Structure 1
Amino acid sequence: MTSSELQEQLNQKAVTLLQEDADKIQKLIEVQMENLATRYCPLYEEVLDTQMYGFSREVDFAVRAGLLAESLGKQILSRLERELAVLYEALNEKAKSAAE
């Protein structure tokens, strides 16, 4: 195995691990939001902030270690933020419908 092949394997492994962590964060938020009476719960906000901060540090580490291009790291973070925003809005609409 050449050095470039090894680097490509490491890069792909980093992307896979980061995507798995992003999926776990999204699932955690889905479960929390389904079980909370209000989306403005301080606990929800704290967990979301903590999870997103930790994940952004993982992405930053992968970029600094040369395992991930900076543009791809930003893309992964942006995608997770968009998915969470969509989830947040869908659950907000669900709560509005239930209140009517």
Structure 2
Amino acid sequence: MANKKKDHREEAVELLKQDAKRILQLIKVQMDNLTLPQCPAYEEVLDTQMYGLSREINFATRLGLIEPEEGKNLISALEKELSTLHELSMSKK
């Protein structure tokens, strides 16, 4: 049973990382092709995606699939990547 829980845990972590990567890619595409970071549509997409990921992390944490600190680290890493992306975008303008 412990091995099965470990498999679920690893799968949950991998899925959350994939979702974080998908959000980053979505924002990259949006910044490259569609809108500026100051645009309300950009902010709406970013806020919605980050909220969704935070809810997924909360759910996985409540199920005991990931540790709360691991979820916080995932969000923090994504926020840092998005901040770097935003800074690069602004320096191009």
| TM bin (shorter chain) | over 0.9
Aligned residue number for residue 98 of structure 1: none
Is it true that 1:40 corresponds to 2:41 in the alignment?
Answer: no
CA deviation map 1:45-67 (0-9, x unaligned):
00000000000000000000110
Cα root mean square deviation, aligned: 0.9
- Pair 1:37–1:11, CA change in 2 (3 A): closer
CA deviation map 1:35-85 (0-9, x unaligned):
235321100000000000000000000000110011101111110111100
Distance in 2, matches of 1:49 and 1:20, equals 18
Q: Which runs of no fewer than 5 residues in structure 2 stay unpaired?
A: none
Q: Which amino acid aligns with 1:52?
A: M
Q: How many residues align?
A: 93
Q: Which amino acid aligns with 1:67?
A: L
| Higher-Rg member (1/2) | 1
Superposition misfits of 4+ residues, deviation over 3 angstroms: none
Distance in 2, matches of 1:7 and 1:37, equals 42
Contact residue 36 and residue 42 of structure 2 kept, 8 A: no
Distance in 2, matches of 1:46 and 1:83, equals 18
Aligned residue number for residue 23 of structure 2: 25
Equivalent residue runs for 1:1-100 within 5 Å: 3-36=1-34, 38-95=36-93
What secondary structure, in the 3-state scheme, does the structure 2 residue paired with 1:47 have?
helix
Q: TM-score if structure 2 supplies the norm length? A: 0.96
